[in-house]
């Protein structure tokens, strides 16, 4: 039997990035059965996989192998640097293990390409040493990619702090963004995160190409601008929307879908801030009371206990029951109106359910793509990282979402919660635009669709290299 062509992925210790990269691998395996074997090398900070991620890893096909590297201990940094810096440092410290694993794989398999997360750019040099192709996998939007490619120039043009810039900032092929809506990493020039972001953006030039989880029809002007003005041009490969595929529903996860089965069509707002997002106690109170006052049905996935830092729980494994922090009597008063659950939820199954009318989301790119694929309008409530940029794209660019306003204390009060819920649930225009994008998303992944053609081009190139070895 002909040896399978081997592809190695290098991810980072962030579940959303791991899921996106591995879903890309699953698509490759599905389309080209018996042709590819994929190994994913994953640096870790704590023991992995976590309880939240275990169901996903347990259902990977046998042609995909995951290797979790020894945990990196840097507890002394956790309260001193931004999340992005923590991730970057942990990956950098894992590079000796990455190279050792990669070299071992290359001596025993038909290895042709290395695909690395943008936070793991140091691994590109290993591909050059092994004389194989290397690609950056970009799990975010083309808008954020354009921002990264343009950042060196932007850094010279704007000399003040971005959040203090008096006018919206122009990024090639994108809507203008206020400085405060740029990623957290660039908000403080004196912070380590700023230098790491700048360096990471420059390293995009190292790879043979950038594989991005978006699709041309979603961000056509941005892709055109990158192609015309960026250093990569045709070497940017849109292959999205790649979203999480169906998983087995067990235990409490099944309860949420069963609850939805008993609700009228388009009547429920789904609330989830991802597996790592957190709110202050005051914000949780206002959100809960706003849901109650809205009178709309709701399904609220509440992962974490309160914290004033939005990303505080992203790398933590706390087991405190977040339901204890809801307003007194809230669960009893909303018993017939809503369903609140803790822990993992089958988000794809939830979003595709007929009962769902809107999605209140933290604007992680995976969640945005899942919402678009299933035609669900959004309330954009960003928390950290590049989520504010994504929220602006959804609200002012694509106009498929509403974004709540904060009061002088940085809180979305209950009346504003009611306002955005009512606005999105009752907006025919937002719903119409979302349904149009849903059609484009589905077409992109058809056999003759734009993303599938790009996907096939890459796969056939890798297969031909494998045969020549």
Residues with a catalytic annotation lie at 17, 117
C-alpha–C-alpha distance, residues 283 and 412, integer Å: 7
Task: Return the closest-CA partner of residue 98 out of 19, 12, 15, 36.
Answer: 12
Instruction: Report which secondary-structure segment, H or E, holds 425.
Output: helix 414-425
**How many C-beta atoms lie closer than 10 Å to residue 445's C-beta?**
19
For residues 302 and 326, give the distance between their C-alpha atoms in angstroms, rounded to a whole number: 10
294: left (phi over 0), alpha (psi -120 to 50) or beta: alpha
176 is written with which tokens?
């203008």
Chain centre to alpha carbon of residue 47: 22
* Distance from the first to the final alpha carbon of the chain: 15
Q: Residue 188 to residues 151, 178, 359, 431: CA-CA distances in angstroms?
A: 14, 15, 31, 37
For 155-197, give the secondary structure using H, E and C.
HHHCCCCHHHCCCCECCCCCCCECHHHCCHHHCCCCCHHHHHH
Which helix (H) or strand (E) segment holds residue 222: the answer is: helix 220-229
Query: Residue 212: enclosing H or E segment and its boundaries?
Result: strand 209-212
Q: Check if the beta carbon of residue 70 is closer than 8 Å to that of residue 45.
A: no
Helix/strand/coil for 146? helix
Of 247, 310, 301, the closest CA to residue 270 belongs to: 301
In this structure, what token pair is assigned to residue 459?
Answer: 């796969």
Indicate the DSSP class of residue 341: E
Say what the alpha-carbon torsion angle 313, 317, 318, 319 is, to the nearest 10 degrees. 130
Count of residues for the chain? 469
Distance CA 296, CA 273 (A): 19
Q: Name the helix (H) or strand (E) containing 41.
A: strand 36-44
Phi (first) and psi of residue 103, to 5 degrees: -65, -40
Phi and psi at 398, nearest 5°, equal -85, -20
Question: Around 420, how many Cα atoms within 13 Å sit in the side-chain half-sphere?
Answer: 27
């Amino acid at each position: 039997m002909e040896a399978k062509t081997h592809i190695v992925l290098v991810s980072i210790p962030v579940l959303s990035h791991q899921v996106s990269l591995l879903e890309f691998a699953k698509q490759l395996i599905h389309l080209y059965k018996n042709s590819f074997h994929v190994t994913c090398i994953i640096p870790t900070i704590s023991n992995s996989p976590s309880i939240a991620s275990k169901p996903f890893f347990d259902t990977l096909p046998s042609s995909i192998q995951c290797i979790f590297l020894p945990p990196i201990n840097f507890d002394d940094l956790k309260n001193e640097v931004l999340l992005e810096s923590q991730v970057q440092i942990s990956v950098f410290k894992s590079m000796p293990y990455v190279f050792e694993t990669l070299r071992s794989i290359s001596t025993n398999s038909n290895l042709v390409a290395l695909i690395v997360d943008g936070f793991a750019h140091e691994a590109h040099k290993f591909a050059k040493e092994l004389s194989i192709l290397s690609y950056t996998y970009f799990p975010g939007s083309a808008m954020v990619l354009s921002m990264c490619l343009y950042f060196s120039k932007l850094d010279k043009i704007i000399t003040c702090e971005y959040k203090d810039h008096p006018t919206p900032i122009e990024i090639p092929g994108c809507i203008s963004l206020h400085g405060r809506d740029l990623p957290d990493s660039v908000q403080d020039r004196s912070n380590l995160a700023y230098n790491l972001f700048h360096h990471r953006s420059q390293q995009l030039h190292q790879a043979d190409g950038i594989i991005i989880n978006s699709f041309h029809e979603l961000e056509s002007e941005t892709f055109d601008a990158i192609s015309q003005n960026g250093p990569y041009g045709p070497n940017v490969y849109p292959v999205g929307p790649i979203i999480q595929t169906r998983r087995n529903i067990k235990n409490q996860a099944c309860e949420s879908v069963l609850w939805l089965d008993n609700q009228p069509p388009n009547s429920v707002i789904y609330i989830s801030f991802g597996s790592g997002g957190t709110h202050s106690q005051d914000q949780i109170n206002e959100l809960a009371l706003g849901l109650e006052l809205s009178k709309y049905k709701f399904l609220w996935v509440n992962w974490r206990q309160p914290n004033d830092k939005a990303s505080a729980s992203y790398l933590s494994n706390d087991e405190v029951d977040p339901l204890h922090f809801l307003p007194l009597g809230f669960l009893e008063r909303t018993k017939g109106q809503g369903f609140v659950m803790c822990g993992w939820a089958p988000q794809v199954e939830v979003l595709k359910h007929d009962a769902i009318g809107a999605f209140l989301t933290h604007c992680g790119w995976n969640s945005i793509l899942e919402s678009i694929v299933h035609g669900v309008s959004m309330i954009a409530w960003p928390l950290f990282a590049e989520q504010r940029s994504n929220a602006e794209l959804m609200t002012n660019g694509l106009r498929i979402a509403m974004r709540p306003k904060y009061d002088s204390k940085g809180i979305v009060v209950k009346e504003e919660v009611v306002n955005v819920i009512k606005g999105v649930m009752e907006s025919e225009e937002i719903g119409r635009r979302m349904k149009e994008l849903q059609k484009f998303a589905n077409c992109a992944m058809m056999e003759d669709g734009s993303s599938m053609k790009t996907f096939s081009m890459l796969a056939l190139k890798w297969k031909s290299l494998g045969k020549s070895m």
